[in-house]
Structure 1
Amino acid sequence: MRSAKRALAAVVAVVAVAGAAGCSSGQGDGKSDEGPVKVGAIPTPTADTDVPLPLDVYLPTREQEESIQRAKAVLVSTCMKRFGFTYPAEPVPDPVLAMIRSGGEGALAFRSESDAAQYGYHPKPGGGEGQAESGSGAATGGDRAVMELVLTGKSQEKVRPSERDTVAGKAVPEGGCVGEADAELADGAPAPDTGGSGDDLPEGAPKESLRTAAGNGPVNAVLALRGKAADLVTKDERFVGMIDGWKKCMKAAGYPLGSLSAAAEDPRWSESTTATQEEKNTAVADMRCRLEVNYLGIDQALDSAYQQRMIEENGEMLESVRSNTEARVKNAAALLGQG
């Protein structure tokens, strides 16, 4: 199960980076604020589980993402070679999708009492944090700044290449080799209508941005809806009431704190690479209180219900997301000789 806080963190990480692609966040018909959702029986789990949420079915499966990333790695490596650089043709998992699938190890994540007693809010060794960013790697063969420009189309001075940006006598593609790879994989794939258009692109941006957005936009569109659902969860009176109960429980335990983040993200915890006894004690009380107020069950029920509302309001766009993923997988298979 992915808590609303952790889902929202995933959205912020990706949508902020992809905003330049020209796609705005998912927009439905304005019904999202129509009031609290109805939920059925609320479960009472005693441990965090990997229960899938409704919007998860619109994200690429692990197999689909692996195929796309393998093909992307080959395309990026081939492109870099044109400019005289050696770049490893090794697929790199999308860090946000990896976090969603693993459940993450963020400070706000629920953990067992034994883990809280041992690690506090610090990550468990080998917990999966610090995934490399998609498209990262060690290129060799020349000046680092030039390599960065060829790889991403960006430098410290520029947001995108201009007509003057040439390397080895060749024009750097929009978005660099990563952008070129994304565009090629998105060839023929529908760019989901997320409420944006070509008019949303920065002035002077090449039309190729629309093609690139067809590769970058779909996952971000789904994550934007996840974030919207998560925001509605935190405003729901049932969630607010549960958090109020958690505050009372924590105060009774000797930790008068105003929010989950105040407990988990206390600046003092970052002063040490390992958890102090005070941090461990706080984390144990936190997890006990979350269980007492059924944090996991209420969060799961509400997040699932609000995500279902997002699907009902954005069905057509989400189906185009599914079609986009299928088209990119088909392109990847053809490139890898599997089609």
Structure 2
Amino acid sequence: MRKVLPLALTGLFALSACQMADHDDPADEARRLNTMAALPLHAYIPDPASDGVKAVNRAQWVLGKKCMVRLGFAGFAILDTKTVESTYPVRQGELADEGTPGDDSPYGVVDPDLASEHGYHNRTPDTSAQPQEWPADQYTALTGSHGSGDSRFAHGHRIPEGGCLGEATRKIYGPAPKVTKVNGVKLTGSYSLAFQLWYESRTKASGDPAWKKADRAWSACMKKKGFTYPDPDKASVDSHWLGHGKPSDKEKETATADARCKLDTGYVPAVQSLEARAQKTLIRENKGRLDTMRAAVERAVRNARTVIGHEK
């Protein structure tokens, strides 16, 4: 296995051009490792842009449309499912705030230039599915999400559990997996096992003395730059970054220092190797369950394509 050296040792590579050629630039290495796809469990989570996932999304709306007509929403009879197959429902007037800070990578900001421009507001827009607003009564019927004062009936018909889209999901996937809780969040989807194991692997890896050592090195680097945080997670979720449409100068300065300290201390290679190892262990221990989950997803894709094929 190729050994990744800390940035502090890269000066030694000047002694030999061949040595330099054998090692990635620290920034390139950090960017390569700082993706979900670089971790083993990612293989068990389908790509939202894949044909299979798109087929399931389309089939959910095909079945959901029939359910909505059954519940008395006559206008859905002429709904073109192609116009909504890449959307997810949002209650009218409650679109999520796109200015919320966040990052889609496992270890946060690693590009100082990007951080100096966007701070911690680095979430990549999800182009696989876009929110679409629906009136409150239709939203409730579609999702089964009941707000204060919402009825559990639509035009005298009881709304199915999870709404029409939830009913459609059960028809495509079969009975929902047992509900599990991860860090207080309920997981009910077909990929809940993979997400549960992902959380467990992070918990295990972050408790490793080597991870804590990486946190301390990063924190010491940040302190020299005038920022006091025990680890990168605490910096990225600082409450001062919330409630602003654009990152403040302070946020940009903090995020830039964060990224530079990750590079200077070799943070990402250090912690990623620990998390990858933890995930490989959990995959071995849960191989049968993961294979069963994958087979269920493959059946769901076949079911979805059958539904689409019978659409009228």
Given that 1:148 and 1:155 are in contact with CA atoms closer than 8 Å, whether structure 2 keeps it comes out as no
- Residues 1-339 of structure 1: pairs in structure 2 closer than 5 A: 41-42=3-4, 45-46=26-27, 47-49=30-32, 50=35, 51-61=37-47, 62-85=50-73, 86=75, 89=81, 90-92=84-86, 104-105=103-104, 109-123=108-122, 127-128=124-125, 137-139=132-134, 144=136, 146-156=137-147, 166-187=153-174, 216-270=188-242, 272-337=244-309
Hey, what does 1:31 align to over in structure 2?
none
CA RMSD, aligned part only? 3.6
Which stretches in structure 1 are left out of the alignment for 5+ residues? 1-38, 96-102, 197-212
Instruction: Please give the alpha-carbon distance, in whole angstroms, between the structure 2 residues aligned to 1:41 and 1:128.
Output: 34
Q: 1:285 to 1:74 in 2, by over 3 A?
A: same
The whole-number CA distance in structure 1 between the counterparts of 2:218 and 2:234 is 12
TM-score, structure 2 length as denominator?
0.71
Distance 1:107 1:277, change over 3 A: farther
Deviation of 1:106 (Å): 7.2
Counterparts of 1:194 and 1:40, CA distance in 2: 40
Q: Please, which moves more after superposition, 220-229 or 65-74?
A: 65-74
Larger RCO, structures 1/2 (Cα 8 Å, 6+ apart): 1
Show CA shifts across 1:2-44 (max 9, x none): xxxxxxxxxxxxxxxxxxxxxxxxxxxxxxxxxxxxx974477
* CA displacement, residues 79-119 of structure 1 (integer Å, 9 cap, x when unaligned): 11222324553124689xxxxxxx94479622411111122
Higher strand share goes to which structure? 2
1:331 is paired with a residue whose SS is helix
Residue 274 of structure 1 and its aligned partner are, at CA, apart by: 2.4
Relative distance call for 1:93 and 1:299 in structure 2 (3 A) is farther
Deviation for aligned residue 1:238: 0.9
2: CA distance, partners of 1:265 / 1:66: 33
Q: Distance in 2 between matches of 1:131 and 1:63?
A: 11
| Residue 16 (structure 1) aligns with | none
- Between the aligned partners of 1:270 and 1:184, the Cα distance in structure 2 is 40
Aligned pair in 2 of structure 1 residues 107, 331: CA closer, same or farther (>3 Å)? Answer: closer
Q: 1:305 to 1:82 in 2, by over 3 A?
A: same
User: Structure 2 stretches of 5 or more lacking a match?
Assistant: 6-23, 90-101, 182-186
- CA 1:139–1:284: 2 relative to 1, 3 Å: closer
Conserved 8 A contact 1:80-1:177: yes
Query: How far apart, in 1, do the equivalents of 2:244 and 2:177 lie?
Result: 45
Letter in 1 for 2:54: E
1:180 aligned partner, one-letter code: E
Deviation of 1:58 after TM superposition, in Å, equals: 1.6
Q: Is residue 110–residue 260 contact of structure 2 (8 Å, CA) maintained in 1?
A: no
8 Å CA contact 1:107–1:265 kept in 2: the answer is: no
- Give identity over the alignment, percent: 27
Matched to 1:233, the amino acid is A
| Contact 1:58–1:322 (Cα < 8 Å) also in 2 | yes
CA positional deviation for 1:255? 1.8
Name the amino acid aligned to 2:154: V
State the Cα distance separating 1:68 from its structure 2 match: 0.7
